[in-house]
Amino acid sequence: MSVTNNLEPTSTFFQKHFHSIIHSIELDGTLFSEEQTQICQAFLLQQSTFEESLAALKQTPSEPLTIEKVRTMLSQPRYRTYFSTTDFNEYKHIERLLILKRLMELIDVEIYRNQAAGTYIQQMHAFIYQDLYPWAGTYRKARRTRGHTYFLLPGLIPEATRDFSLELEIMAAHYFPTKQEFIKKYAPLVKELHFIHPFTKGNGLASRALFRKIAMHHGYHLYYQRIKESVYMQGIEDCKTDFIESYLSQSILNEQADQQLIKATALKRKKDKK
C-alpha cells in the first residue's frame, strides 16, 4: 500500500495532507515541535526507519511528566499497546509515528460497508490504531464522562453506530453544491458521533479522519486547521453547532463542490470494488 500519490516533501499534495494530519492529532493534545515534525516527515518519506525515527524523537525535549500521567500509563487498559514500554514520552513518540503513517495511508484507502469488519467508524478506528492497540476497533465496555458530558452507555453503542452508518449512506447519495450546504448537513453528525464516543481512546482522531473522507466524497477539500486544543475541545464538549460549523468552514478550502474530486473518488471506489 502506498503512503501517498506523491512522496516529494515539497509537493503541495504531501504538505497539505501532512500538516492537516499533524493539526488533527494536535487537537487531541499531542503537540509537535518543529524538530519532531521534521523527524516524522522523514519517516513518512521513508528517509529513516521506525527505529531511527523513534530514537531521534527521544532526543527531542520531552513532555513534562506528572504523577497522574505515570499512574494513567501504568494502570489504564487504554495505554496497553503492542510495545512493552512504561515510559510515557516513548509511548507518545511511538504513537506519533504509527498514527501518522496510517493517517497518510488513509488518503488512498476507502472504507466500505462491511458487516464482518464493522461499522464505518469501527473500521476507521481499527485501521488507524492497528499497529498500536490490541483492542483497535473494539467498542468501549465502560461508562465515560468528560466534564459535564455524559457519553452514550456502552450497551447502546453497537446499535447507535449502525444507525450512524446508515445515516452516512443516506447522506452519501445527496449532492451539496456549496460548502455551507454540506456543513449544515454534516455538523449535526459530528455532534452525534461525539456523543456516542464509541471507543476507549482515539474517538476524536477517528471521527476527524472519517469526516475528512466524507468531505472528499462530496467534493470538498478538508484540511484541519491549527487552533488551540482547549478552544477546540471546549467547543466540541459543549456540542456547539455554531462552533463546529465555523471550524469546518475554516478547514474546507473550496466554496463549491469540486466535480473532479467527486469523479476521482467515485472512480476509485468503483475500481476498489472490482
Same domain, yes or no: 150 and 200: yes
Asked whether 86 and 74 are in contact (CB, 8 A), the reply is yes
Query: In this predicted structure, what is the pLDDT of residue 90?
Result: 84
**Distance of alpha carbon 36 from alpha carbon 53, whole angstroms:** 9
The verdict on 172 and 238 lying in the same domain is yes
Same domain for 58 and 151: no
Averaged pLDDT, 128-157: 91
Residues 149 and 249 in one domain: yes
Q: Are residues 183 and 247 in the same domain?
A: yes
Write down the pTM of the prediction. 0.87
Range of the domain at 26: 1-108
Classify residue 134: in a domain, yes or no: no
Q: Look up the CATH number of the domain holding residue 149.
A: 1.10.3290.10
Same domain (yes/no): 143, 97:
no
Q: Are strands 145-146 and 149-150 parallel, antiparallel or unpaired?
A: antiparallel
Could you report the per-residue pLDDT of 174-233, keeping only the tens digit for each?
A: 999 999 999 999 999 999 999 999 999 899 999 999 999 999 999 999 999 888 777 887
Phi, psi of 149 (to 5 degrees): -95, 125
